[in-house]
Amino acid sequence: MKKFLKHIAYGLFFFVLINLLIVLKYEYPAYEAIKNKTHKNYLKWNSIHTNKDTYDLIILGSSRCYTGFNPKVIDSGLNIESFNMGTSAQDIAESYYSLVEILEYQKPKYVVLGTFLNLSDDTHDYYQIFSNASFFKSSKNKFDLVTDGYGSEGIANYLIPLMKFNNYIKQDLMSVFSDKPEKTPETDWYKGFLKETAIISQAQIETLKPIPNFSNTAFNEGRFKTFLNKIYDLTKEKGIKLIVLRTPYPPSRLKLSDNTDEESFYKNYLNNYKDVDYYDLNNYKPELFKYEDADFSDYHHANIEGASKMSQQVVDIIKNQSNN
């Protein structure tokens, strides 16, 4: 019995030690970035929390949004103050709880939600999710995000670093045996928007894969509907105009498949909401806003040129709404 307990004690010791080492490896750089005021999520939430009742338009969504919507273009086109609260791999539940937190400090007239199938599946990047939520000032909002948004799996990932960083550990181990170049640090931010200057190369274009659809993405329709309804109810309660967008892809990627699952699903589902507008930026007024591969930095992120077009489309959409 004593020998058995000894093994258990050793096992627990090494488990705790491994998790502590993982925290030092993956979370310590974030602590340093926060201290130096260079952490992107810290900077975003600091702007929301300290500039109370400043922003008329809030953008929510993934990195496709934070590289895609330039507040400078939107502000000058609409004579308003906008802020980009897109964050890496922002899941639909994360968008909802972020909005709950935001509305405790801001009174926007518009919320722009960028979505695509991968953001409503059952695969979650808990490191990114909890990094974002760690800057909520409300403990209740943070607790609700972890427990109601992600359930027992969310709680386990929140408590155990080994689970939360599992994918990052795998990537680092794989990088030991590959020659992948290190990513350039993201430093050029403006009101939550990342100014991306890279342009997709011809070699990258030749390796593009078809866009997300129901055959290559584990889309969870029930999850999407649950949290979109929550976002809708919250914006309706606050008198906020909700605009849902499908952000664009490089044209060469769109040509790889005639599958319209993504566009068709959102368009048909959002027809149920008479006061919510849905727009696919890939084909919104193509005679005015024609995308080229050179408007993208990779297979689905816009660069600064693409962001200018996306932002101008938002301006045009809201101006048209105001005139109707």
SS3 247: coil
d(CA 254, CA 258) in angstroms, rounded, equals 8
Evaluate if residue 180 carries a pLDDT over 60.
Answer: no
d(CA 34, CA 188): 16
pLDDT tens-digit readout, 151-164: 999 888 888 777 76
Long-range contacts of 218-226, Cβ-Cβ distance < 8 Å, separation of 24 or more: 218/121, 218/122, 218/123, 219/117, 219/118, 219/120, 219/121, 219/265, 220/120, 220/121, 220/122, 221/120, 221/265, 223/92, 223/93, 223/120, 223/121, 223/122, 224/92, 224/115, 224/120, 225/269
The Cα-based distances of 116 to 201, 217, 245, 267 in angstroms read: 24, 10, 9, 12
pLDDT of 191 above 90: yes
Residue 15 within any structural domain of the chain = no
Instruction: Report the alpha-carbon distance of residue 162 to residue 21 in Å, rounded.
Output: 10
> What residues have CB less than 8 Å from 44, skipping those under 6 apart?
83, 84, 85, 87, 135, 192
**Residue 185: is its pLDDT beyond 80?**
no
Of 63, 168, 70, the closest CA to residue 116 belongs to: 63
- The verdict on residue 156 lying in a domain is yes
Residue 44 lies in a domain: yes
157 within a domain of the structure (yes/no): yes
d(CA 40, CA 34): 9
Q: What is the DSSP letter of 121?
A: B
Is the residue at 24 inside a domain? no
The mean per-residue pLDDT over the stretch 294-322 comes to: 96
Query: Quick count: other Cβ atoms within 10 Å of Cβ 270?
Result: 17
**pLDDT score at 25:** 66
Burial 20-56 (b: 16+ CB within 10 A, else e): eebeeebbeeeeebbeeeebbbbbbbebbbeeeeebb
CATH of the domain at 242: 3.40.50.1110
4 pLDDT higher than 80: no
For the segment 57-77, what is each residue's pLDDT rounded down to a tens digit? Answer: 999 999 999 999 999 999 999
- 99 occurs within a structural domain: yes
Question: Using CA atoms, how far apart are residues 122 and 308, in angstroms rounded to an integer?
Answer: 32
Top-confidence residue, 187 or 202: 202
User: How many percent of the chain have pLDDT more than 90?
Assistant: 60
Angle at 192 between CA 104 and CA 141, to 5 degrees: 30
Count how many Cα atoms sit within 13 Å of the Cα of residue 90 in the half-sphere of its side chain.
Answer: 26
What residue numbers bound the domain in which 46 lies? 37-323
> Is pLDDT at 51 greater than 90 in this prediction?
yes
Contacts of 270 (CB under 8 A, 6+ apart): 244, 276, 277, 278
Mean pLDDT calculated for residue range 219-226: 93
Average pLDDT over residues 226-247: 96
The answer to whether 156 and 163 are in contact (CB under 8 A) is yes
- As for how many domains the chain has, the answer is 1
Beta bridge partners, 154, equal: none
Domain-embedded: residue 285:
yes
Name the more confident of 235 and 124: 235
d(CA 31, CA 131): 11
SS3 59: strand
For the chain, the average pLDDT equals 88
Q: Is residue 18 part of a domain?
A: no
